[in-house]
Structures are given as structure tokens and as C-alpha cells.
């Protein structure tokens, strides 16, 4: 696995390094630690890399470092492309004083445009014990399931699978399965989720499944809060015309969850998006 770890040396960014150190990475996995000098302030790249080395001391992966000059988001995205990164790891908030959202401006732009999967790490969620997989039966959520099956979690981590179904309205009994916006009916989603849960169990992972009704993003965030989830995993739609039509299901929903959830968030993108 080729991992790009973007850091500005802030405590929030260093939490991402600690999380990486806690993953079960192989000796042939590669972590590229990148920091960006945007010339708005003097940066101590040596100090940043020293801190990253300390945070990553528990990993077996190969570690290399790079310094870029320019705008942070552009340089991080460019390095993702140039290095053919499989995963970008970044803290939820850097050193900027943006208070409107829980994500820093650079992180928000990076998760929208990154060509690879993105792991956004919250400061107090650097240890992954509970994982929530948002499942809707579509290609992106199935890709997220496959990615999570192969993700280097510790053996003790528990996977919670959750499908968010449309709300039931009073006075409007539903005798037939409601079709979701993706054209997949509820029974099909639940059956696929059950099979996916069994895949995790067959792989030796403890896994449970759950369905709720409501608005997708808020339901995911609320459930994660209630279960004290450490990592939320979602499939992220691309930008084609057909996928724009479904963006609010797991497109803008993925961005909302990454923006507002208190858990770390893994947005899985499939090749070619």
C-alpha cells in the first residue's frame, strides 16, 4: 500500500501519524510524509519530520519524507497523483483558525478532489476499536466494504454495518419495499448487507449489522456518536453526471459526515473516479 501522510506538525495532524502507527502495516508498505511550505510562515520541516518519525515509530512500513512549496491543497493533491497513492491520511484540522466547520479548509478541499481514498483523522480517534461501515448496496458502498475487509485494522476491531432507509411517514402504510434513490429496493440492501457482514465474520472479524430510517448523514453521525465509533467508512461517488444525481446519498453525504462527525472518517474512492 502506498500511503501519503500530509502533516503541518500540528497536534491534529500528528494524531494522523499516531493512527498510522497503530495500523498493522507490512514491511513493503510505504508511507510518504509530506509537508508544504506555503510561504505564509516559516516552517520547521526538520522538526515536523522528527515529530512524524516519533509518531510513526511503531510501524514496520518504509518511511520517506518530502517538502513541497506552494498552496497546501494543490501540492498535496499533486503528490497524490504523482506518487499514485492508494490512501491519503490527513488530520481533520491543521493550524488555521477556521471555526465555522470542524474540518480545516485544506482538508475540506483535499477530500473533495483527491484521486485516491482519504482517511481524515480526529485528534482523539487515533486508536480504532469500533468501525462503522455505511452501506447502501451500491457500487461505491460495496467498494468501501471490500476496502475495509483488506484494511490493516488490529484483530480486535469490531465492524458495525448500517443501512439508512427512507423514513416512514404517518398515515402512509408501505406494503411494498421502498425503492431507494439508487434504484435498489430495501430488501435487496438488507440482504446484501447481511452477506457483507458474513464476509467479515468469515474473515475472522466480529461484525454486526443494523438498519435505521431517517436522513442519511445525520443518521450515520448520530449512530456513530451513540456507539462511540472510532472510524466511519463510506464509499464516495465520483463526479460524472450519473453520479452527481446520487451525490446526496453518498457523495455530499460523505462530505457532511467527514465534516461533522466526531469519529475519524475513511472515504473510499474506486480507481477511475
Please state the φ and ψ torsions of residue 125, each to the nearest 5 degrees.
-125, 45
Please tell me the distance from the alpha carbon of residue 138 to that of residue 267, in angstroms, as a whole number.
Answer: 15
Tell me, yes or no, whether 148 and 209 share the same domain.
yes
Tell me, yes or no, whether 94 and 222 share the same domain.
no
pLDDT at 103: 62
Place of cell 457532511: 256
CA torsion angle 58 64 70 74 (round to 10): -70
- Assigned domain for 157 exists: yes
Largest CA distance in the chain: 65
Tell me, yes or no, whether 92 and 142 share the same domain.
no
Burial of 46 (0-12, 13-18, 19+ CB in 10 A): exposed
- Assigned domain for 16 exists: yes
pLDDT at 169: 60
- 216-254 core/surface letters (b: 16 or more CB in 10 A; e: else): bbebbbebbeebebbbbbbbbbeeeeebeebbebbbbbb
pLDDT at 2: 97
Tell me, yes or no, whether 176 and 113 share the same domain.
no
Q: What CATH number does the domain containing 55 carry?
A: 3.40.50.620
Non-local (6+) Cβ contacts of 22 within 8 A are 58, 126, 127, 128, 154
Give the closest residue to 230 by CA, choosing from 18, 4, 2, 60: 18
Tell me, yes or no, whether 91 and 157 share the same domain.
no
pLDDT at 108: 84
Domain-ending residue, one of 57, 91, 121: 121
Please tell me the distance from the alpha carbon of residue 145 to that of residue 29, in angstroms, as a whole number.
Answer: 21
**Is 40 in contact with 85 (CB distance < 8 Å)?**
no
Determine the structural domain holding residue 50 and report its residue range. Answer: 2-121
Tell me, yes or no, whether 243 and 137 share the same domain.
yes
pTM for this entry: 0.87
**Is 223 in contact with 130 (CB distance < 8 Å)?**
no
Tell me, what DSSP letter sits at residue 62?
E
- Assigned domain for 273 exists: no
Determine how many CB atoms are found less than 10 A away from the CB of residue 191.
12
CA torsion angle 109 110 112 117 (round to 10): -170
pLDDT at 80: 96
pLDDT at 172: 54
Tell me, yes or no, whether 45 and 106 share the same domain.
yes
Domain-ending residue, one of 62, 86, 121: 121
Domain-ending residue, one of 67, 91, 121: 121
The predicted-structure confidence for 176-210, as pLDDT tens digits, reads as follows 454 444 455 889 999 999 999 999 999 999 999 99
Tell me, what DSSP letter sits at residue 33?
E
Listed as ranges, residues in the chain with pLDDT below 50 are 94-102, 175-176, 178-182, 238-250
Tell me, yes or no, whether 99 and 218 share the same domain.
no
Tell me, yes or no, whether 232 and 189 share the same domain.
yes
- 103-133 core/surface letters (b: 16 or more CB in 10 A; e: else): bbebbbbbbbebebbbbbbbbebbebebbbb
- Assigned domain for 67 exists: yes
Amino acid at each position: 500500500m502506498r500511503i501519503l501522510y500530509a502533516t503541518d506538525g500540528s497536534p491534529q495532524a500528528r494524531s494522523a501519524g499516531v493512527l498510522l502507527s497503530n495500523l498493522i502495516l507490512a514491511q513493503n508498505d510505504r508511507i510518504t510524509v509530506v509537508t508544504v511550505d506555503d510561504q505564509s510562515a516559516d516552517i520547521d520541516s526538520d522538526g515536523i519530520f522528527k515529530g512524524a518519525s516519533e509518531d510513526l515509530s511503531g510501524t514496520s512500513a518504509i518511511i520517506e519524507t518530502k517538502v513541497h512549496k506552494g498552496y497546501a491543497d494543490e501540492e498535496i493533491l499533486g503528490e497524490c497523483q504523482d506518487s499514485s497513492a492508494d490512501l491519503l491520511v490527513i488530520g481533520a484540522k491543521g493550524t488555521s483558525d477556521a471555526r465555522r466547520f470542524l474540518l480545516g479548509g485544506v482538508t475540506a478541499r483535499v477530500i473533495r478532489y483527491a484521486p485516491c481514498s482519504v482517511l481524515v483523522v480526529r485528534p482523539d480517534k487515533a486508536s480504532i476499536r469500533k468501525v462503522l461501515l455505511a452501506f447502501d448496496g451500491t457500487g461505491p458502498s460495496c467498494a468501501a466494504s471490500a476496502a475495509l475487509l483488506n484494511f490493516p485494522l488490529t484483530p480486535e476491531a469490531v465492524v458495525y454495518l448500517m443501512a439508512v432507509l427512507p423514513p416512514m411517514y404517518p398515515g402512509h402504510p408501505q406494503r411494498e419495499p421502498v425503492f431507494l434513490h439508487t434504484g435498489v429496493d430495501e430488501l435487496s440492501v438488507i440482504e446484501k448487507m447481511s452477506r457483507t457482514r458474513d464476509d467479515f465474520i468469515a474473515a475472522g472479524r466480529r461484525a454486526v449489522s443494523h438498519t435505521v430510517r431517517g436522513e442519511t448523514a445525520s443518521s450515520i453521525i448520530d449512530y456513530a456518536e451513540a456507539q462511540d465509533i472510532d472510524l466511519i467508512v463510506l464509499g464516495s461517488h465520483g463526479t460524472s453526471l450519473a453520479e452527481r444525481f446520487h451525490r446526496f446519498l453518498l457523495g455530499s453525504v460523505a462530505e457532511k459526515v467527514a465534516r461533522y462527525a466526531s469519529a475519524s472518517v475513511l472515504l473510499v474512492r474506486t480507481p477511475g473516479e
